[in-house]
Amino acid sequence: MDNTEKIKFVIDDKVCYAEPGQTILEAAKSNGVYIPSLCYIEGVKPPGSCRICNVRVNNRNLIACTTPVAEGMIIDNDIPELNELRKAIVEMLFVSGNHFCPGCEKSGNCELQALAYRFQMMVPRFPYEFPEKGVNATSKYIFHDRNRCIMCKRCIGKVMKDEKHVFAYNSRGGEHLHVVMDEELASQLTEEEATEAMDICPVGAILKKERGYYSPIGHRKYDKESIGSDIEKK
């Protein structure tokens, strides 16, 4: 398909082309433009829950992972106003959980931590809440630590066993919503499936048991280059 059949749009002053049906996030990615996001993963209907990928079209904030790109769209993405808003969201996630990076197995591979570095977060503007959250270690291969969970829904959408959801939301609202693991199903996951679940989690809420510090801190994905730089290099 040449560019005449494609959708033409502009993002951060760059003229881009997209396949019909692509979302703004996917289209930007294939044009080498990184839109920060946390809940989006390829191949799963985007939950649109983290709200970090919001971009601006015609003075309106739209969520890039759920909105299809349209012909002639002019999109603002990497602008100070939006980056400040995204940084604020990252900070919110830090204060409403218990994220102690130095002691976390996911450090260096954690997308929340990587975004915090990208946005140059120093100290969150919001007061820490230090909420009490539980852990669940009943499954053979998975350690589920809710202290680090950002409730992005990735595991809910993606981790399945016999076509059933292994993870789900429980309760609702600002103070009670949390993610729970189905103990029966989780105990049936194979070692490979458990590793996959850990990789799906953007933070260190789902950990594979017996795999601590497999690669040393300092040599991990985001230790070497900032999140999104792989897309921007293309």
Residue ranges binding another protein (CB under 8 A): 46-52, 54, 61, 63, 66-68, 85, 88-89, 92-93, 95-96, 125-127, 129, 150-153, 161, 163-177, 180-182, 184-185
* Token code pair at residue 10: 């502009």
| Sequence-distant contacts of 37-45: CB under 8 A, at least 24 apart | 37/64, 37/65, 38/93, 38/111, 38/112, 38/115, 38/150, 38/152, 38/202, 39/65, 39/152, 39/153, 39/154, 39/202, 40/65, 41/154, 41/157, 41/158, 41/200, 43/158, 44/154, 44/157, 44/158, 45/157
Q: Which is nearer to another protein, 52 or 194 (CB)?
A: 52
Buried b (16+ CB within 10 A) or exposed e, 56-72: bbeeeebbbbebebeee
Q: Which is nearer to another protein, 47 or 195 (CB)?
A: 47
Q: Which is nearer to another protein, 1 or 123 (CB)?
A: 123
- In the complex, least distance from residue 218 CB atom to another protein, rounded to whole angstroms: 29
Q: Which is nearer to another protein, 33 or 152 (CB)?
A: 152
Q: Which is nearer to another protein, 32 or 134 (CB)?
A: 134
If you compute the radius of gyration of the chain from its CA atoms, what whole number of angstroms results?
18
- In the complex, least distance from residue 163 CB atom to another protein, rounded to whole angstroms: 7
- In the complex, least distance from residue 63 CB atom to another protein, rounded to whole angstroms: 6
- In the complex, least distance from residue 219 CB atom to another protein, rounded to whole angstroms: 30
- In the complex, least distance from residue 207 CB atom to another protein, rounded to whole angstroms: 19
Q: Which is nearer to another protein, 19 or 129 (CB)?
A: 129
Query: How many CB atoms are located within 10 Å of the residue 217 CB?
Result: 14
Report d(CA 222, CA 214) in Å as an integer. Answer: 15
DSSP letter (8 states) at residue 61: E
- In the complex, least distance from residue 5 CB atom to another protein, rounded to whole angstroms: 22
- In the complex, least distance from residue 211 CB atom to another protein, rounded to whole angstroms: 24
Q: Which is nearer to another protein, 28 or 166 (CB)?
A: 166
Report d(CA 67, CA 208) in Å as an integer. Answer: 34
